[in-house]
Chain A
């Protein structure tokens, strides 16, 4: 049977159409393939990260401290050594009365050994900064931290105003020291613990419990009297 020319042409046209359809489908598929590639890459990176993470976790898993035992260890000897060390450590503790000051909570604890004699609300350093005009000097109004000792005990103290007190008020510090003396602002008692810092009274009792001072420790009148009467020169002060 013979196939006419027209039929052959039609078949070729159909083939052409199929071919262009295939090409079209491939072009449509192409972006899908690209997306898959990104997914594979992401999965690959995530897998790699996971492996590194697992290695990290294994390597840095918390291990307990191992102390090397040297020679023969005797349990009772070790226990005796520990009790001796414990005794030496407790011998470091202050004997008798001492003062604890929590500068954050603005609390003073007057203690005798482990017993609390008095707890008082106080005012500690504000932590502010004062710079002298011209930038020559700078003061940070912090209450110092650490262990201190009462070095002086004063009744009816006068305040000898330091330079910063004048600069803060926008005045020139006077040359004559008599101009620096101010009475009645430090309360009835003052306990000096070095470098110009004092535990003293205050006129601003409503500010007790707040960090408002220039580094000194302000205490209310009644509490100050008890602190003054129960301490002596050499009494330890712990400020934290």
Chain B
């Protein structure tokens, strides 16, 4: 009698567990599909205009520059971390790019740039772009960009960034929350110095785009 009772109970819990698992999976899939459909609706609005825009998926660590739904350039990021809740899926605008060593445009002196050799000196090129910088978006969102570095100085700098990220930002945001102005922070690590420069070059001030977090296809 006791044996039957135990096996019936075991079977019952197993069934409940399985149902719960499948129900959870379906709920997760629905949530994934809902985010995906919202994302597509917003992207369609961006793609219907003659403009460049970006799509940043934190879940897949991918940043893409697009136009008309077509990927012009894509960067696979080394690492992405964030503080705070993600904003709802909506179009954001890059308001300002700032860097400690921001590139400066060169001024041409009239009458002095007649030879082609001078042109080279006056150019502002990809190699002049910064590798560590901040992108400020509307909706109080900031993205800190820096490259992954494998040098001794790079590790030292990484330690500094680590303490800033875990030691300073939560406290800073706590104070900002007291004044009802908390910010959402994202930090991305690019695979190389060149990729950090290319992102700075590609994301011009005023560019619009979507930031969301969604794992790969469900």
Please give the residue numbers on chain A whose beta carbons come within 8 Å of chain B beta carbons, in ascending order.
49, 52-53, 55-57, 59-67, 69, 73, 75, 78-79, 81-82, 85-86, 88-90, 92-94, 100, 102-105, 126-133, 140, 145-147, 167-170, 204, 207, 210-212, 238, 240
Contact = CB atoms under 8 A, between A and B. Distances in A.
20 contacts: A49-B171, A56-B170, A59-B174, A60-B174, A63-B85, A64-B86, A65-B213, A67-B38, A82-B33, A82-B40, A85-B41, A92-B69, A100-B72, A105-B198, A126-B119, A127-B123, A169-B114, A210-B123, A212-B116, A240-B67
Contact of A60 (B48, B52, B83): B83
B3 interface: no
B68 A65 contact: no
A104 B126 contact: yes
**Residue from the set B67, B69, B89, B126 with the largest chain A CB neighbour count within 10 Å:** B67
A128 B125 CA distance: 10
B38 A238 contact: no
Interface stretch (B15-23, B100-108, B142-150): B100-108
B177 A59 contact: yes
Given A104-B201, A211-B123, A88 B44 contact: yes
Interface in B44-88: 44, 47-48, 50-52, 65, 67-70, 72-73, 81-86, 88
A197 B128 CA distance: 24
Nearest to B168: A53
A202 to B, nearest CB: 10
Contacts of A56: 169-174
B123 A63 contact: no
A67 B106 CA distance: 48
Interface in B115-145: 116, 119-120, 122-126, 129
B40 A86 contact: yes
Given A75-B33, A93-B69, 10 more contacts: A62-B81, A69-B30, A82-B33, A86-B40, A92-B69, A104-B202, A126-B122, A128-B122, A129-B107, A129-B108
A7 to B, nearest CB: 68
Interface residues of B, number: 69
B106 to A, nearest CB: 5
Interface of B: 26, 29-31, 33-38, 40-41, 43-44, 47-48, 50-52, 65, 67-70, 72-73, 81-86, 88-89, 105-108, 110-114, 116, 119-120, 122-126, 129, 166-167, 169-174, 177, 182, 197-198, 201-202, 204, 212-213
Contact of A82 (B37, B48, B110, B212): B37
B1 to A, nearest CB: 43
Contact of A129 (B106, B166, B174): B106
Contacts of B107: 128-131
The 4 A-B pairs of least Cβ separation, nearest first, read A170-B111, A56-B170, A127-B124, A85-B40
B86 A65 contact: yes
B83 A62 contact: yes
B162 to A, nearest CB: 13
